[in-house]
Structure 1
Amino acid sequence: MTATGSATASTYGARDHARAQAGTVVTTMPVLPASGWPSPPDGVAPTDLVWAETVAGGNYTHLRVARGTHLRLTDVEGSACAHLALHNATQPWERLNVADTTKVAWQAYLGAGALLLSDQGRVLASVVEDTSGRHDAFCGTSTRASNTARYGDGAPQGPSPAGRELLVLAAAKNGLLPRDLPTTLSFFQGVEVGPDGGLTFTGSAGPGTSVTLRAELPLVVLVANVPHPVDPRPQYTSTPLEVVAWRGAATAPDDPLWSATPEGERAFLNTAAHAAMLGLDGGTQA
């Protein structure tokens, strides 16, 4: 038995060992309270932070956020890949629709100003800032079968967990079933489509890049931080992802993003009407 094993062999020993971890960095749990996060985004008061966490490579997180919440994802070391699924928290059968997200925008490459649409024609979230530019709306996330074939194991508790397996766990903690999971978007590891339809992996823009999303409705947010399914590196490579959320306001009719395109304006009108019926703050129609 190892020294740690002997120290935790009894209930009292396990308790003392657990309490000794206080003040150390735990990469798979949020900072509580979030105001204790050491580096709030510029211009954000610590008291406005509602979530702050570092998600280890090969791990996941999930959170429910209010309408207007801003959510910043940061690729800390350059090899994170945030596979994102979104659900309307008030009616979770409404979920991210990647096909409509790209179709309504008339292009498939995500960046600042992109609208992440639901299968009901509403804006679940908008991209307000992006310093990475390396994202993917084509491939989705990895599966247990694909990771087993490539790395030898795709189980969620194994050394190379698949994104879908982790999202199934995150979904279950929010009362959702595997069938409720939509196709995901991937942030921080890019893919381009060539003239022949072939995919080229463009990888990361480097460490420290970030994407900030704005929740246009109350959301269930599911994130798996795992390698992109077409990442050519032979080893399972996944580094930490920072997730920080703070209070804010949803997009208003006087925001240039609201009327940037006719299709986007219609989606925002649908969103505002839904929010108004729910009595949500800022849910007035234009």
Structure 2
Amino acid sequence: MPSSFASATAQPDLPHVDVLWETVIPAGTHWSGILRRGLALRVIDLEGGANLAAVFHRQEDLLERYNMADTLKAQHTAHLTRGHVLYTDMGRVIASITADTLGWHDPLGGVGDAALFARKYGEKRYQAHRNEMIRNGRDSLVLELAKYGLGARDLVANVNFFSKVAVGEDGALEFVPRHSRAGAAFDLRFEMNTLAAFSTAPHPLDPHAQYAPKPVKLVAWRAYAADACAPADDPCRTACAENERGFVNTDRLFA
């Protein structure tokens, strides 16, 4: 296993990391895993134009999960980037974005289901097309959550990493094509023991007429010890007073 991540470290705001493990989520597929407190993922768009739909649940109590509304209103934002954190519905911080070469990730656009994908791309089933089948993001995430005893009712609003959706003055959402380039990356640090589920299916608002998902690489590394916490001067922690309170609530859970 290599001790550094060569392609990503060329970016000026991605620090050197000592790799624990790495994997590629192929285009149009899905992945899930338990990511321990203090672990971080470097997530890389390998080809450009990727979308990574993601949901997060606390491992010890799967009823506690990422909450989009609290995440946005606590930080007064409609997009996510370096310095932002992801809140649960209990007012705790489940993950933090500690580095980002892209500058904008979409928390608003949701995830496409089977009906939407059939209208946009037609249908290609596994029986006839094998690995070239069309997989939609909603079913992909539900399949991953099912491995941990969860179901469709547990699928909450997701984050779409690598995608940008602009909000017009009238509230309309507009997908921004070609937002993410090959090699774009961000670091996501986990502040709780987290069940993470990912899908690389296209964004539901992507206007591209062809089904053209892209692969994403995950590189795991240790940001801090599992029995420690983010330091007091951590930029995500000090970004706003709400974040400081969120980290305090999280640290008390592990005290």
Q: TM tier, shorter chain? A: 0.7 to 0.9
Q: Deviations over 1:92-138 (max 9, x none)?
A: 11001111111111111110011100010100000001111242111
Q: 94, 107, 113: which is aligned to 2:64?
A: 94
Aligned to 1:84: 54
Q: Percent identity?
A: 36
Report how far residue 38 of structure 1 moved: 8.0
Shift of 1:62: 0.8
Give the Cα–Cα distance (whole angstroms) in 2 for the partners of residues 260 and 247 of structure 1: 22
Deviates more, 1:144-153 or 1:162-171: 144-153
**8 A Cα contact 1:143 1:154, kept in partner:** no
Q: Distance in 2 between matches of 1:78 and 1:208?
A: 7
User: 73, 77, 83: which one pairs with 1:103?
Assistant: 73
C-alpha RMSD of the superposition? 1.9
| Equivalent position to 1:71, from 38, 41, 52 | 41
Give the aligned partner of residue 219 of structure 1. Answer: 194
Question: For residues 140 and 152 of structure 2, what CA distance do their matches in structure 1 show?
Answer: 11
Does the CA-based 8 Å contact 1:144-1:154 persist in structure 2?
A: no
**CA-CA distance at 1:81 after TM superposition:** 0.5
1:210 to 160, 175, 185: 185
Q: In 2, are the aligned partners of 1:83 and 1:184 still within 8 Å (CA)? A: yes
Structure 1 length-normalised TM: 0.78
Q: Secondary structure at the match of 1:205?
A: coil
Partner of 1:119: 89
Q: Alignment partner for residue 259 of structure 1, among 219, 223, 238?
A: 238
**CA–CA distance in structure 2, aligned partners of residues 243 and 255 of structure 1:** 23
Deviates more, 1:146-155 or 1:92-101: 146-155
SS of structure 1 residue aligned to 2:254:
helix
Q: How does 1:176-187 map to 2 (within 5 A)?
A: 176-187=150-161
Quote the residue 1:160 is aligned against: 134
* TM-score (normalised: structure 2): 0.87
User: 1:1-286 residue pairs with structure 2 within 5 A?
Assistant: 35=1, 39=5, 42=9, 43-46=16-19, 49=20, 51-153=21-123, 159-203=133-177, 204-249=179-224, 250-276=229-255
CA distance in 1, matches of 2:247, 2:5: 32
Structure 1 Cα separation of the partners of residues 234 and 189 of structure 2: 13
- The amino acid that maps onto 2:205 is V
Q: Does the Cα contact within 8 Å between 2:84 and 2:236 map onto a contact in 1?
A: no
Residue deviations 1:114-169, cap 9 Å, x none?
11000101000000011112421111111111111211238787722110111111
CA change 1:196–1:209 in 2 (3 A) is: same
- Where 1:135 maps in the other structure, the secondary structure is coil
Q: How many residues align?
A: 239
- 5+ unaligned residues in a row in structure 2: which ranges? 10-15
Give the Cα separation in 1 of the matches to 2:236 and 2:104.
21
CA distance in 2 between counterparts of 1:153 and 1:215 reads: 36
Q: 1:57 to 1:207 in 2, by over 3 A?
A: same
Cα distance between partner residues in 2 of 1:108 and 1:100:
11
- CA distance change for structure 1 residues 229 and 37 in 2, over 3 Å: closer, same or farther? farther
1:234-286: per-residue Cα shift (whole Å, max 9, x none)?
0011111001111221422232432321111111111111121xxxxxxxxxx
> 1:125 aligns to what SS in structure 2?
strand
Asked if structure 2 preserves the Cα contact closer than 8 Å seen for 1:146 and 1:154, the reply is no
1-side partners of 2:235 and 2:41: how far apart?
A: 20
- Give the ranges of 4+ consecutive aligned residues of structure 1 lying more than 3 Å apart after TM superposition: 36-42, 154-158
Query: Any gaps of 5 or more consecutive residues in structure 1?
Result: 1-34, 277-286
